[in-house]
Amino acid sequence: MSSPGTTLGGVVFDTAALTAWAHRVAYVQSVVWATADAGHTIIIPATALAAARALIPPGRHDILSVLLDLPNTVIQPLDRPASDQLGAALCDRPDADALIPAGHATMEAVSRDWPCLTDRPDTLKKLDPRVQTDTLP
């Protein structure tokens, strides 16, 4: 339970952020530890996690596991209502299948009014101009 005047917050990671974490990019490590120190949450969309696992060499999956096992990390599934919403957002796009992880991350960030850590802010903003982004260096 939060005390009066305390706001809960966090950050959403997209595929690029997860991949950067596994490659020990200093900026992503700083975001993770600052978020944890503040008692905030890291949201990892399941679709972004699946894409990242496909891109991260198996020898680095243990590094990814450190992030996934943190007590402030939440893996957000793509359930039926969320898939309906995401499908509607990507409707009639010929590249819809390639945009599912980005769309899921965008949807999670917008629904919480939290930033999404990404390397493609323009793509996320085209999916939903309300999304806040934190661009990877």
- Residue 108 sits in a domain whose CATH number is 3.40.50
Q: Which residues of the chain have pLDDT under 50?
A: 1-6
For residue 7, the model assigns a pLDDT of: 55
pLDDT of 123 reads 95
Q: Report in angstroms the alpha-carbon separations of 113 from 18, 59, 94, 120.
A: 20, 34, 28, 18
Q: What pLDDT sits at residue 5? A: 42
Q: Tell me, yes or no, whether 117 lies in a domain.
A: yes
Domain hosting residue 114, numbered range: 15-135
Q: Is residue 87 part of a domain?
A: yes
Q: Is residue 129 part of a domain?
A: yes
Q: What is the pLDDT of residue 8?
A: 79
Task: Say if 3 falls within a structural domain.
Answer: no
- Residue 47 contacts residue 85 (beta carbons within 8 Å): no
pTM for the model? 0.91
- Exposure of 133 in the CB half-sphere (CA atoms within 13 A): 23
pLDDT at 99: 94
Residues 6+ apart with CB under 8 A from 56: 18, 19, 22, 23, 64
